[in-house]
Structure 1
Amino acid sequence: MDPDLRKKAEKFPNRPGVYIFKDANGDPLYIGKAKNLRKRVLSYFNPNVPDKIKAMLKEAKQVDCVVVNSENEALLLEANMIFEEKPPYNTLLKETRVYPFIVIVDDTFPYLKLVREKSIAGEYFGPYSDIGFARELMDLSFKIFKIRSCSIRIDGGRRKVCLEYHLGRCSAPCAGKISREEYMKSIENLKRFLKGDIDEVLEKLRDDMKRMADLLEFEKAGAIRDMMNKILKLLKPQNIVLPDDRKMDVIHFEKGLGVVLKIRNGFMLGKMSYNFDGEISEFLEQLYCTGKLDTPDELIVNLDPSDPSARLLKNALGIFRIGPPKDEMENRILEMARMNWEEEFKMMEDVERTLRKLADLLRMDRTPRRIEGMDVSHTHGILTVSSVVVFEDGRPNKREYRRYRFDEIKVPNDFEVIKLTVQRRYSKHDVPDLLLIDGGIQQVRSALEGLKKAGKLCKVLGIVKGEEKLVDEFGNVFNLPMDDDVLRLLIHVRDEAHRFANTLHTKLRDRRLVISRLEEIPGIGKKRKKKLLEVFKSLNKIAESSVEEIKEVIGSEKLAKKIKEYLGKVVKDAG
């Protein structure tokens, strides 16, 4: 241990703040908070500290501190610094899966976006435990509030309206169809809706439906009725009957796993689960102080309200109440959280057994916590793409998925693409515990060549499609029963890599098909082709659109009719 560390700690003030132990490069090893910085940091030099602290002190070459005004400020600063720096000796909160958010992005005319992490400025709603639910909510938001989904800059110039306007999903602020004042009213209404206040929306839709019926616009009235039914179908099944509107989170935390039920205005909007190897107070700090979850008014959790950490968290975040259930209704919801925890914990144990079994099968010296799967997709060698998917503790981490294009390759050569993908990826990134390749021994050897070029080593395994047999780098073949949990996991990784590669390949192929078909129509230049592709995305969507919608994009009714007629025949012949 560096003796200068203690000397510096002795000079720390007796004030609240955050302390940072750093390595020789100045990178944080451990970050902590203290009511009294000097007293807390000096306690680390006690001979009876845990082994983890002793190991950290052996690496530490510097210790620094940030003085703040209060213990509350120290709590918030510590949580955010841990979230940003992710020091190796701090216990970090880890999501068991990636949860999506809906964000209203900051802009003169804000727009709506579905994201997997908080990386852009705006107001976030979620996270949502079900991506399908989040997408349905987005779709309803566009139809009801007509908020734009595009991110084009609106600077006062007028644009032509796009297809979204004609479909009734956007109020077209870019074309001056709505004032900013009216648009921002829609944004405020949307915020209330996303927070769970659906009564106001339903009342307005009922009035609109009645008005359309009175005007004998029965088709429009029917469309509004369908929208109302969709809202009720989407939200009502998740409704938990509460005596009044409540903004509360209900948490069961045990054995390093926390399950959070998120309830807003009487609706359960999501169930999230997180791994955290620490105390419940630290779990709550990282969960709320970093903004991973929005702060509720009430936090129902088996934590004594008089506990110093509970009081600190309550004061720092402005939570009205933290503590155990106070009535039968809250007991029922906490029991629901506990039952969900049991299911999550059972799945964790099953995955852990499967990963250990996989390690034993391949004679690995450690459990393959991180598995990356790779696949290649092309059409007779052209439009070649490869994909890499990431599984952590048996679950997909879609934030880290990547795709690679190889426009220079014009003939089928999967071996070369695998080698180049591996070389390109692992020249810049750390290798996983296990790299899974779609293919047999030749594909595995191509991956090993790529690793050699990148100057890296890791365990590589192939999975042969159809036969579903496993092949390692030594040529050993493993034939597992189809119901074997190890094989099922590896098939899942392989199929996910295949799906992810095919998604991009299909998009490139369809784009090429659209361009070639459009080039057959006289009068369509590069600019018009580009506009059609930007708006409609595919040949079928152009063919399904009306002449008026196509005209809005290209500016010519005569040419729009020609496109509609020609593509109608193409799609019909293809069908």
Structure 2
Amino acid sequence: MNAEAVRERARELPREPGVYQFRADGTTLYVGKAVDLRSRVTSYADPRSARIGRMVDRADDVEIAVTDTETQALLLEANLIKRHQPRYNVRLKDDKSYPMVQVTDHEAPRIEVTRDPAESATVFGPFTSKGAVDTVVKALRETYGIRGCSDHKYANRDRPCLDYEMGLCTAPCTGEIDRESYADDVTSVERFFEGETGVLADPLGREMEAAAAEQNFERAANLRDRLETVETFHGEGGEAVQSVGDERAVDVLGVAIEGEDATVARLRAENGKLVDRDRHTLEAPGGGVARSSADSTGTSADGGVADVGGVPAVLAAFIVQYYAERDLPDALLLPERHGDSEVDAWLAAEGVSVRVPGAGREAKLVELALKNARRNVGRRDECGMLADALSLDAARRIEGFDVSHAQGTAAVGSNVTFVDGSAEKAHYRRKKLTDQNDDYDNMRALLEWRATRAVEGRDDRPDPDLLVIDGGAGQLEAARDALAEVGWEVPTIALAKAEERVITPDREFSWPSDAPHLHLLQRVRDEAHRFAVQYHQTVRDEVATVLDDVPGVGPETRKRLLGRFGSVENVREASLEDLESVPGVGEKTAETIKSRL
């Protein structure tokens, strides 16, 4: 549309609040809100930036929706941006790349770390450190015995599993703990994630002191390290949070920008406690967020901000799109003003206090939010790059497969899962295979097992976007034969080790060695290989080990030893103290094991 076409279209519009969409060939290019639709659209006849000028040139029509109030226009704009993801808007992307903790709604709830929580679960997070989350969840399970097993493993058991023996679960599956007591333990776990650090820190502290008193210094040191992780888990900035006074809920936002990528970090304080933190990625085209706030001075004909760049544009876009479907806090602390008069009017009408602190405790909170944002900005989207390279709709969830055996004996298969580029170990699976010295048949059997479970609904994991086979064209063909026979349609490729060639059913790729999407595939492939080899060693040790000849070590004790240490070699290297920590292994048996091995 040229300038005259824009003015002609604007003359047809009402002087009422609403939302307008610039469209081209049926596709929405840009969504905006206005107090006065005619005035706002007229302003696009003389665009204030080259980016918006390019958008207007591409557009062939302007569609509008009239609303009763400015607030309705604001929220409708947010919904349309989320639905259409217009090329020329700042867009909030769903942030699913950080781990969360969910407590399921089962009769005996389980706890697990996940990036894809169930809608019915009680969810905490997301958190910024996967390692810290894993440490805390393990400590909670050791302290309160909450189960971590799948529903399939939990159902129809007649005796407790190894987790019970290792002190990680109180075995509600077999009634080792009554339901009321188990529910109390679940409540304690939830209280920890709601901010009561002492629920876990206090028992860990007592256990550490007891270990030190018994001169078990190695265990005391381990508990000290774990206690430090627990005490810092809910983050720094607790002192600063006390500044919120009588306000029940305060959100603190920090923004970091690099090129077309922006990150908003949000801290949530409730009743004087820092209870949550998360980070969100926003996209803007061609420099839409690249300018600093000092350059952001353009205003529209009706007093709103037109094409403001930098931090103000990101803040305005985030506030509307994020809070359009969430409860607003009592106060918002920002690093600088967002500069959108319509957003200001909406927040004021909702009773939200907006502050830009310059010093003091609130400024300390804003600085903490800025640090969180800077950690994420510019993070490469390996999954998106991989999807583009392979012409897939998405490559967010990837499963990797490999087989391992020793000349046909102790054959096993591995199935690992990566979500948003990171290993999702709770969704790893492994499979014993029929012993045969044929990699192709082994791979075919492994994929047939995975596909059958998926098709029959016996696998509790979501279907992946992509399957990655460790091997070459032969392994890929075997895998695809199995998928076709079962009727499970999932894109499948192979990654050959020798030349790092990516093999698809139609062609082969030789990507640069520094390509981020190749690195992602390599991580999946290498982890599948590691997991297969590890399981193969365990199965091989289970088949026949020198532990069978140790007096006092029966099948159950052998299983516990191998489950605790992973292999006979690790059992051999374990200290007497470590051996005695395994249920069923006393001082005499531990000494016998050491002498025999």
TM tier relative to shorter chain = 0.5 to 0.7
Q: Secondary structure at the match of 2:98?
A: coil
Aligned with residue 250 of structure 1, among 243, 248, 253: 253
SS at match of 2:134: helix
Equivalent position amino acid for 1:107 in 2: H
Can you list the C-alpha shifts for 1:270-311, whole angstroms capped at 9, x where unaligned? 5736243263221233445567x9979644342359843245
The Cα RMSD (Å) is 6.5
Question: What amino acid sits opposite 1:505 in the alignment?
Answer: A
TM-score (norm 1): 0.58
1:276, 1:283 within 8 Å by CA — same for their partners in 2? no
Report what 1:409 is aligned to: 440
Q: Sequence identity, in percent? A: 15
Contact 1:103-1:123 at 8 Å conserved across structures = yes
Structure 1 residues 500 and 52: alpha-carbon distance in aligned structure 2, compared to 1, 3 A threshold = farther
- SS at the partner of 1:127? coil
Match of 1:141 in 2: 140
Change (3 A) 1:193 1:389: closer
* Cα distance per residue 1:137-178 (max 9 Å; x no partner): 211221233322224389998853333334333333333344
CA–CA separation in structure 2 for the residues paired with 1:111 and 1:56? 52
Give the distance between the partners of 1:108 and 1:20, measured in 2 at CA: 51
Taking structure 1 as reference, are residues 285 and 174 closer, same or farther at Cα in structure 2, changes over 3 Å only? Answer: farther
How many Å apart are 1:134 and its aligned residue? 1.1
**Contact 2:253 2:335 survives alignment (8 Å):** yes
Task: Select between 42-51 and 133-142 the one with higher mean Cα deviation.
Answer: 42-51
Q: 1:224 to 1:302 in 2, by over 3 A?
A: same
CA distance in 2, matches of 1:411, 1:155: 29
Q: Report whether the alignment pairs 1:505 with 2:553.
A: no
Q: Secondary structure at the match of 1:284?
A: helix
State how far apart, in whole Å, the 1-side matches of 2:157 and 2:374 are.
56
- In the other structure, the counterpart of 1:325 is 357
2-side partners of 1:106 and 1:128: how far apart? Answer: 21
Contact kept, 8 Å, 2:430 with 2:532, in 1: the verdict is no
214, 225, 230: which one pairs with 2:226? 230
Give the AA of the match of 1:239: E
Please tell me whether the aligned partners of residues 285 and 313 of structure 1 are also in contact (alpha carbons under 8 angstroms).
no
Specify the alignment match of 1:439 in structure 2: 498
The TM-score, its normalising length taken from structure 2, stands at 0.56
Q: Is the 8 A contact 1:20 1:32 kept in 2?
A: yes
Give the match for residue 483 of structure 1. Answer: none
C-alpha distance in 2 between matches for 1:404 and 1:22: 50
Separation (CA, whole Å) in 2 of partners of 1:326 and 1:284: 21
Equivalent-residue separation in structure 1 for 2:168 and 2:495 (angstroms): 42
**Partner SS state of residue 451, structure 1:** coil
Write the distance in 1 (CA, Å) between the matches of 2:399 and 2:157: 46
Classify 1:160/1:271 alpha carbon distance in 2 versus 1 (closer, same or farther; 3 Å): same
Give the whole-Å Cα distance in 1 for the aligned partners of 2:180 and 2:430. Answer: 44
Residues 34 and 40, structure 1, Cα contact 8 Å, conserved in 2: no
Between 1:497-506 and 1:75-84, the stretch displaced more is: 75-84
Which AA in structure 1 matches 2:363?
N
Counterpart residue number, 2:236:
239
- Give the 5 Å matches for 1:40-119: 43=41, 50=52, 51-52=54-55, 55=58, 79=78, 91-94=90-93, 98-119=97-118
Taking the aligned partners of 1:371 and 1:176, their CA distance within structure 2 comes to 39
Distance in 2, matches of 1:135 and 1:160, equals 27
CA distance in 2, matches of 1:451, 1:387: 25
1:284 aligns with 2:316: no
Maintained 8 Å contact 1:389/1:496 = no
Change (3 A) 1:120 1:195: same
Counterpart position of 2:458: none
- Compared CA separation, residues 105 and 242, structure 1 to 2 (3 A): same
- Structure 2 distance, partners of 1:190, 1:233, is 16
- CA offsets, 1:47-74, max 9 Å, x none? 678443664657x9xx898x99987677
The within-5 A match list for 1:203-352 is 203=202, 227=223, 230-236=226-232, 238-242=235-239, 245=242, 248-254=251-257, 256-260=261-265, 262=267, 272=279, 274-277=281-284, 279-280=313-314, 281-289=316-324, 298-303=332-337, 307-310=341-344, 312=346, 321-325=353-357, 327-338=359-370
For residues 490 and 55 of structure 1, do their structure 2 counterparts lie closer, same or farther at Cα, with a shift above 3 Å needed?
Answer: closer
CA distance in structure 2 between the aligned counterparts of 1:32 and 1:121, rounded to whole angstroms = 33
CA contact (8 A) 2:255 2:370 kept: yes
- Are the aligned partners of 1:154 and 1:174 in contact in 2 as well (CA < 8 Å)? no
* Shift in Å, 1:414: 2.7
1:482-561 → structure 2 map (5 Å cutoff): 487=514, 492-493=519-520, 495-506=522-533, 509-510=536-537, 512-513=539-540, 516-517=543-544, 540=567
The change in CA–CA distance for 1:373 and 1:224 in structure 2 (over 3 A counts) is: closer
Q: Deviations over 1:334-363 (max 9, x none)?
A: 345446656655x66xx79xx99xxxxxxx
